[in-house]
């Protein structure tokens, strides 16, 4: 499960999809803006690179990685569904 810090919770915005009248609420965190900046700087990145840079909460490097990197994949999908272009 995704852990969030106090700084992640301080920024909240509502994004309205233009394709329909349905309002899609999504919280844009500091981490989301950092991911955008990283992608703009790198031009492209793999799911694993984004996971290791922004979502890795393992205590030690030797701890097993989560299978499928679901938290990273779900967060990027939410941002994409909100109409934010990630690449």
Interval 51-81: pLDDT, tens = 999 988 889 989 988 888 888 998 888 888 8
For the chain, which residues make up each domain, given as ranges?
Answer: 6-81
* Model confidence at 3: pLDDT above 50: no
Query: Do residues 69 and 75 lie in contact, with contact meaning Cβ atoms separated by under 8 Å?
Result: no
pLDDT tens by residue, 11-26: 444 545 555 545 567 7
Helix axes 70-81, 30-42, angle to 10 degrees: 90
Query: How far is it, in rounded angstroms, from Cα 28 to Cα 87?
Result: 17
Q: What is the mean pLDDT of residues 13-41?
A: 73
Cβ-based neighbours of 64, under 8 Å, separated by 6 or more: none
pTM above 0.75, yes or no: no
Q: Which two tokens stand for residue 30?
A: 């500091």
Tokens 């909460």: give the residue: 57
Q: What is the pLDDT of residue 9?
A: 40
* Model confidence at 87: pLDDT above 60: yes
């Amino acid at each position: 499960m995704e852990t969030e810090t106090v700084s992640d919770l301080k920024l909240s915005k509502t994004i309205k999809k233009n394709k329909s009248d349905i309002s899609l609420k999504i919280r844009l965190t500091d981490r989301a803006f950092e991911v955008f900046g990283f992608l703009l700087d790198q031009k492209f990145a793999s799911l694993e690179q984004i996971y290791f840079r922004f979502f890795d909460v393992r205590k030690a490097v030797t701890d097993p990685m989560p299978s499928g990197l679901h938290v990273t994949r779900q967060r990027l999908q939410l941002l994409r569904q909100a109409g934010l272009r990630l690449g």
